[in-house]
Amino acid sequence: MTAPPSRRLSDRLLPDSVLGRTALVLVAALLLSALAALYLAASQRQEALAAIGGRNAAERVGGMVAIAEQTAPELRQATLRNLDTPRFRVGWGVTAIVQINEDQGLSAYVRDVLKKGLEGRDVLTSTLPGPMTGHSTGLMGPGRHGGGLALRISVQLRDGSWLNVVAPLEHGDSLWRPRFVLPLLLALVLVTVVSLLAVRKATRPFGTFAAAAERLGVDVNSPPMEECGPREVRRAAHAFNVMQGRITRFVQDRTQMLAAISHDLKTPITRLKLRAEFMEDDEQRAKMLADLAEMEAMIASTLAFARDDATSEPRVRVDLAALIQGLAEDMAGLGMKCSYQGPESLVTEARPSALKRALGNLVDNAVTYGGAARISLNTATADLEITIDDDGPGIPQQDWERVFAPFVRLEASRSRDTGGTGLGLAVARAAIRAHGGDIALSNRPQGGLRVSVTLPRT
C-alpha cells in the first residue's frame, strides 16, 4: 500500500475536517464583523457626543454674548468671571483666543450655529490644543479640561472686544463596560453555536458519501444511498447510486459471461475424458487425464474468483481463533509443519466460508512454498492482526504486489509438482478486503516470508 501524501503546512495549521474549517471561517467572520461594528459604533458615538457638546457650548456662548453686551464695560469682566468654571472657561479681552479658524468638522458646525443666532458678529472656532491665557484674552490660569479635546470659541462683541470660551468636549464612558460587553459576547456565543449546528448539518452528507463509498468498496451489492436533502446533495446521491448500479451490472455481466464459458467448456472436456479412456497407451492416457483435470480446476477457480462469493455470503458471529486453530490442526494432520499461537477464543463478525478459504490459501502457500506455516493472532492492536511465517526463500520486494494479480505465478512455482492456477493470493486478498481488511507481504530478517492480514474489529 502506498503511503498517504504529506500535508502542506497550511493544511497542517488548519483543522482537518470540512466542519472545522467552515467553523473557523465562520467564527473569524463573526469576530471581525463584531469588531468592525464596535469600531463604527464607537466612532459614531464619539461624533454624536462631540456634536451634542458643541451645540450645548454654542447655546451657552450665545447667552453669554447677550449678557456681556448688556453689561457695562467696567462690570463686564467681573460678571463674566462669575460664569467661569474650571470645566467651562470664560474670558473677555481685546485679543481673540482663536488664532487659526478651522473651516471643517466640529469647529465649522459650532460656528454655523453661532452665526445663525449672532448675526453680524465675527465668530472664530477651533479645536486645536492649548488655550491662550493672559490679560489680553481675559482667561487666567490653565483651567482643567484634562488635556483632551476642547472647543475654543472667540466672538467679537459690538464694541470690538472679544468674548473667549474654552469648552472641553466629553468623550463619554468607554464602550468596554460589562453591561455592554457581556450582552455582545452572549450574542456572539449564541450565534456561533447556532451557526456551528447549521454547518454540522450541512456537512453531514460528506460523511454519508464517505460511508457509502467504503461500503461500495467492500460490497458492490450494498444498499443504495438515500436521495434526500438539498438539491445538490440529492443530485450527488443519485449520481452515486447510478454509478453503483453500473458497477453491479458490470460485475454481474462478467460473472454470467464466465459462467457461460465455464459451462460450455465442461462439455468438450467431458468428451475428451471419455475419449482418453479408450487410449491404449497408459502413459499418454494418464497425462491427458491430468491435463483435463487441471483445466477443470482452472475453470472452477476462475469462476469462483469471478463470482466474488466473499461479498455475497452473509456476516455471522465467528470464533476467529477456533477457525485458525482448525486450519492449523488440519494441516498438521496431513503431516505438514503448521502451528498456531494466540488466544483460545476470539469471536468477531465475518463471512466464515470466505474467510476460511482466504486463510486456507495463505497457509497452503506457506506450507507448499515455504516448508512450514507458523500462524499467530495478535489482539493487542486497534485491528486484529494475523501473521503467517514460513521458512522459504521469500519473495523479491518488487513482486510483493504483482503476486496478488490473477494468474500470476513466480518462476519457482511453475511446476507440475506444486500446481496452482495463480488465483490463490488474488482470491485471498479479495476476501480479506471484502471484510474491510487487507493483506501485506514482507521478508523476515532471519529468512522466510511473512504474510500480514489485518481485519477490523466488529
Q: For 219-240, write each residue's pLDDT tens digit.
A: 677 788 888 878 888 888 888 8
Clarify whether residues 101 and 159 are in a common domain. Answer: yes
**Residues sharing a CB contact under 8 Å with residue 308, sequence separation 6 or more, in sequence order:** 251, 255, 430, 434
- Residue 388: strand, helix, or coil: strand
Residue 68 belongs to a domain: yes
At 130, is the pLDDT very low, low, confident or very high (cuts 50, 70, 90)? low
Identify whether residues 184 and 37 lie together within a single domain. yes
Q: Where are the alpha helices (DSSP H) in 278-382?
A: 282-307, 309-312, 320-333, 352-370
**Residues 321, 296 share a domain:** no
Structural domain contains residue 34: yes
Last residue of a domain, one of 210, 241, 263: 210
Strands 338-341 and 373-378: parallel
Cα atoms in the Cβ-side hemisphere of radius 13 Å centred on 109: 14
Residues 390 and 266 in one domain: no
* Helices 178-218/18-70 angle, 10° precision: 160
Q: Is residue 219 part of a domain?
A: no
> Which of 145, 177, 210 lies at the terminal end of a domain, its last residue?
210
* Segment among 88-92, 147-151, 155-159, 426-430 with least mean pLDDT: 147-151
Considering 244-248, 331-335, 383-387, the range whose residues carry the highest mean pLDDT is: 383-387
Task: Give percent of the chain with pLDDT exceeding 90.
Answer: 13
Find the domain containing 269 and state its range: 231-306
Q: Single out the residue in 288, 306, 324 at which a domain terminates.
A: 306
In the structure, what pLDDT confidence band is assigned to residue 359 with cuts at 50, 70 and 90? very high
CATH of residue 347's domain is 3.30.565.10
Q: Which of 14-18, 300-304, 443-447 has the lowest mean pLDDT?
A: 300-304
For residue 376, what is its C-alpha cell? 499467530
Mean pLDDT of the chain: 80
Q: What is the mean pLDDT of residues 196-209?
A: 81
Residue 78 C-alpha cell reads as 467681573
- Residue range 254-313, pLDDT digits in tens: 777 777 777 777 788 888 888 888 888 888 888 888 888 878 777 776 666 666 555 567
Look at residue 142 and tell me if it is in a domain.
yes
Overall domain count for the chain: 3
In a domain, 222, yes or no: no
| Same-domain status, 87 and 173 | yes
pLDDT at 216: 77
Query: Taking Cα atoms as reference points, which of 302, 339, 308, 340 lies closest to residue 432?
Result: 308
| pLDDT over threshold 70, residue 144 | no
With residue 348 as reference, give the H or E element that holds it: strand 347-350
349 and 296 part of one domain: no
As a whole number of angstroms, the distance between CA 142 and CA 132 comes to: 9
pLDDT beyond 60 at 1: no
200 and 239 part of one domain: no
pLDDT over 90 at 451, yes or no: yes
- CA angle at residue 254 from 251 to 256, to 5 degrees? 110
256 and 185, same structural domain? no
Residues 56 and 136 in one domain: yes
Is 224 domain-assigned? no
Q: Grid coordinates in use for 325? A: 486453530
Measured N-to-C along each axis, helices 18-70 and 73-83 cross at an angle, to the nearest 10 degrees, of 150
Residues 420, 361 contacting (CB under 8 angstroms): no
Q: Tell the burial category of 179 from Cβ atoms under 10 Å away from its Cβ (0-12, 13-18, 19+).
A: exposed
Q: Do 108 and 116 meet the contact criterion of CB atoms below 8 Å apart?
A: no
Question: What is the value of pTM for the model shown?
Answer: 0.50
CATH number of the domain residue 240 falls in: 1.10.287.130
Q: How confident is the model at residue 328 (pLDDT cuts 50, 70, 90)?
A: very high
Reduced DSSP (H G I as helix, E B as strand, rest coil) percent helix, strand, coil of the chain, to 5: 55, 15, 30
Residue 5 domain-assigned?
Answer: no
Q: Considering the domain boundaries, does residue 348 fall inside one?
A: yes
Residue 118 sits in the same domain as residue 201: yes
Q: Are residues 136 and 235 in the same domain?
A: no
What string of DSSP letters covers 92-130?
Answer: EESS-S-SS---SHHHHHHHHHHHHHSTTS-EEEE--SS
Predicted pLDDT of residue 416: 42
Would the pLDDT of 2 be above 60? Answer: no
Query: Looking at residue 129, what is its pLDDT?
Result: 67
Pair 37, 147 in one domain = yes
Position 406 scores a pLDDT of: 74
